[in-house]
Amino acid sequence: MSLLESAGLGLLRNFDPERAHGMALNALRLGLAASPGLVTSERLRTSVAGLGLANPVGLAAGFDKNAIALHGLERAGFGFVEVGATTPRPQPGNPRPRLFRLTEDQAAINRFGFNNDGMEAMAQRLRTRPSQMVTGLNLGANKDSTDRAADFAQVLTHCGRHISFATVNVSSPNTERLRDLQGKDALAALLAGVMEARSGLPTQIPVFLKIAPDLDADGLKDVAEVARASGVSGIIATNTTLDRDGLRSRYAGEKGGLSGQPLFDKSTRVLAHLAQLTQGEIPLIGVGGIGNAAQAYEKIRAGASAVQLYTAMVYSGLSLVKNIAEGLDTLLVRDGFSSVAEATGTGIKDWT
């Protein structure tokens, strides 16, 4: 991390977390943030569900909810970027404060509640996204919707021609009863509607499913079965957790989803179990608690074809993207792997 980046992070920590996040996004939008640049190599270049990635290090949804900083993110070095979540109609989300830094735990708790500008604004911004950047959209449902399953399909229909992939987000803990859609029958019906919406798009883009880390063994088995039957292109494991075990911060009791370092072990175990259940038939993307190259590599060895970051950047800045990509390349060389794909799943037994 450069002195300039370190000073910038120190300055942002003097502000309310949500305001600081907005300031960081505006710096990216205006080209004022650090631009580490893209790290790639023959080993790092990979393909996930037909998407060609320069490296397997992606940005998780939630960082740029409204796609206002796509050109700045292009210069940050991500192999792919996911924006959103986006709902059909704009909504303000939950009352503030709704984002908390747990510095002692290198973590965060949020209860945003799908605050976003809606699909009309999102479609307008995605029309002018960087043409070479692999850009996905996280699909959501309005809090007061009478048919939440239909909301996901509606957003995909409206925005699908402007994105590289879409993610069905039924795993946020911050919209009441949203996680009920992870149940076997409800999930099958929801995904059927989304896949039908995809069939009407000019390009049959990949559709991913994002799951919670709090599913039990039966729930994971159901997800794997429904994912296979529905024809989704991949599974993102995982979203934030409701667990609070071992936290030290004074904000530990705040309601919402916990992300960051405390989530790493739990999300990686879920990822590895899912890799066993799907037997390599469905690509997996590993998310949750990744703060360095070694942890990104553990996700890959546990079954991930690619990874996504978010919370760790609050503490380590955008240079983390470059550091992880370079570190992954070094680890692949060390262990004699010629590609990310070759390393994927080689450590599943360590987590199951």
Active site amino acids: 172
Number of Cβ within a 10 Å radius of residue 82: 31
**Both tokens of residue 243?**
């667990």
The answer to whether 227 and 274 have CB atoms below 8 angstroms apart is no
Q: Please give the sequence-ordered ranges of beta strands (E in DSSP) within the chain, or none if there are none.
A: 46-48, 51-53, 57-59, 80-86, 99-102, 107-110, 135-139, 165-169, 207-211, 234-237, 257-260, 284-287, 306-309
Beta bridge partners of 209: 168, 235
CA distances from 183 to 151, 180, 187, 232, 281 (A): 17, 6, 6, 16, 21
Longest Cα–Cα distance of the chain, Å, equals 53
CA dihedral of residues 62, 168, 342, 308 (deg, nearest 10) = 0
Which one-letter DSSP state was computed for residue 37? -
